[in-house]
Amino acid sequence: MYKYLPIKLTLGFLLIFGVSQAATIQVNADAPEQLEDGLCSIAEAVIAANTDQAVDGCSAGNGADTILLENQSYILKKADNLTNGPNGLPAIRSEITIQGTLSNENFFENPQAATRIERDTHNAIIPPLPYTDGKPPMRLFYVMEEATLSLKNLFLSGGFTGANETFFNFEERNSLQNKGGAIFNLGTLNLQHVKLQNNHAVGSGGAIYSVGNLVIKDARIIRNHAELFGGGAIDAQGSLMIQRTFLVQNSAELGGAIRFVSSPGQVGNKFVSVNSMIADNRAFRGGAIYMDSGIVSRFLHTTITDNVAHTFDINVTGASGGGLFIEGVKDNTNHQPQVMLGNTIIANNTGNDCLFETAVNLDATGNWFGDN
């Protein structure tokens, strides 16, 4: 009889003290902003999840919450808040999953039917220089420290940080308010079956700026742009993992697709790419990827091809790592960057496939390189 005692005690403990359960919040409003109309909008659902309280037509959150969206486009027409720049939705302050309607298997087969979250670009005015398009600039999501945002089965587009007046002011262009065209992440960000397209940052991180933890699986990140420093698709300083993901036709000054650098005063930040393709991206340095000397990177079954990098100085065009660029020693740390390549293709990039400004601890097995 005694062998059942631990189970009885455990059940008794759970009955007495209770179990924290996550809540599911169903969005049923077409408009994404807070309207107090008896319905549940995306903005109201985020607040309900953050505060564990009912908001307008949204049920109360409870711990780690899931917000379910309808199969439609949610158009953000004005900023909800100005946390490090304008954000279309309330800042994420807890553990939240936001999920669209399409199944994982059908998401990329029929992307037009996907749930979309977009900044309003209808009848936007496109000037000669694309620093504003006549619509209020804003990114879509802002993730606070200690918070976790998971996005699933969503199409995110039109995010825009910055405006015309910042173009000639370097300090303003490099400010936090101009980073992360679609998402600014200080905490943990997980993306699965997400498409990020046509997002723009005057600063860095055309689609995503992340100084926290970033995991991307089964995603498409296409035609995003960053004006300053880099990361046409992603500018990351924390940890980054991409898996079964395509990064295509993104552009920036440094790292057409990805700029991955170590956090200030730190070395050893980790970047992992598995079963992914990085192709047809453009930058002055690091057509596909730009990294600094403080990183540890691993590329497994990854293809890096058809990317372009070039510099132009005194009427001479120079090669600048069309596929992979690693800059020299950073902050006098003398840390030697570590790069592991396994069953990876780095070929057919313009501006040399790889350019390393410093000695690299390279572990390469079963790869195919073009010119180096």
Buried b (16+ CB within 10 A) or exposed e, 260-280: bbbeeeebebebbbbebbbbb
Specify whether the backbone of 368 is left (phi greater than 0), alpha (psi in -120 to 50) or beta. Answer: beta
Do residues 236 and 268 make contact, with C-beta atoms less than 8 angstroms apart? no
Is the pLDDT at 227 greater than 90? The verdict is no
| Distances from the Cα of 179 to the Cα of 107, 111, 160, angstroms | 28, 27, 9
For 251, list phi and psi in degrees, rounded to 5: -150, 150
The confidence band for 317, taking pLDDT boundaries of 50, 70 and 90, is very low
Task: Quick: pLDDT tens for 296-306.
Answer: 899 999 999 99
Is the pLDDT at 97 greater than 70? The verdict is yes
Task: Quick: pLDDT tens for 180-192.
Answer: 999 999 999 999 9
The confidence band for 127, taking pLDDT boundaries of 50, 70 and 90, is very low
Q: Tell me how far apart the alpha carbons of residues 270 and 292 are, in angstroms, rounded to a whole number.
A: 12
Do residues 72 and 41 make contact, with C-beta atoms less than 8 angstroms apart? no
Q: Average pLDDT in the 299-316 region?
A: 78
